[in-house]
Structure 1
Amino acid sequence: MGLISEKFIQSLQKNKIGVFIMLFAALCTAFGQMFWKLSDGAINVLLMVGFLLYFMGAALMVIAFRFGSLSVLHPLLSIGYVFAVFLGAFFLQEAITMENIIGTVLIVMGTALIGGGDH
């Protein structure tokens, strides 16, 4: 177990700038999608803000790949789903169900397992 955690820490240290940028990109895209939902399908300011945030997230993803390994950074895109669960609960008063919790835990575990071992 020590070897796995040691590899994980080394991978994070090697890719830390890319990881930080990718997490921020995932947060931007999750906020962008939330604003799309808030726009209620109408062409309005909320929709435009959503597009801007989503574009920022996409641009940040491209930038992040310059600062880390693809095999570590790409799985972090799935963290956007985790952000979406919490944004939905906090801003849209959506219920967090047991299925949401289990899915969120599985996403985080999978992301750590796939992206944590940079070779």
Structure 2
Amino acid sequence: MQYVAALVSIILGAIAQYFLKMGVNVVSENSKSISEIIKSGITNLHLWSGLFCYGLSLLLWFYVLSKMELSKAYPLVSLGYVFTLILGYLFLNEAITVTKIAGIALIIVGVIVLTR
């Protein structure tokens, strides 16, 4: 169960990054001054959605840390790079290159080695 909770926590963190990216894009397009950036940021639903996802992720991560050794739990966090890459490709039209695929493979191998 703790691995499922860790995975959900990590996926929520990746989703939070997606929402923050969407929110920052809107804020930067519509804002010229510091006061406009603050106002736009406070009223931006994407930014709030990202913060909400981070909050849920943190609560799940508390559970994970209470059930797993830190040396096994923390390497799983690097899987967030994998999920973020996938979300960027699916929803932000970001490219997946051979270099990125190689990096993802190294991350996955590293996680497997470190969590055994």
Q: TM > 0.5 between the two? A: yes
What is the Cα deviation at residue 41 of structure 1?
5.8
What is the Cα deviation at residue 36 of structure 1?
0.4
1:32-51 aligned at under 5 Å gives the runs 32-39=16-23, 40=25, 42=27, 43=41, 44-51=44-51
**Separation in structure 1 between the aligned mates of residue 97 and residue 87 of structure 2, nearest angstrom:** 14
Q: Which string of whole-angstrom CA distances, capped at 9 and with x for unpartnered residues, describes residues 41-75 of structure 1?
A: 62100010011001211221111112222221111
Percent of pairs with identical residues: 32
Partner of 1:84: 84
Partner of 2:97: 97
TM-score (norm 1): 0.80
Unaligned runs of 5+ in 1: 1-16
- Letter aligned with residue 67 of structure 1: K
**Separation in structure 2 between the aligned mates of residue 28 and residue 96 of structure 1, nearest angstrom:** 21
CA contact (8 A) 1:18 1:66 kept: no
What is the Cα deviation at residue 106 of structure 1?
0.4
RMSD, aligned CA: 1.1
CA contact (8 A) 1:28 1:54 kept: yes
TM-score (norm 2): 0.81
- Letter aligned with residue 14 of structure 2: A
What is the aligned residue count? Answer: 100
Partner of 1:19: 3
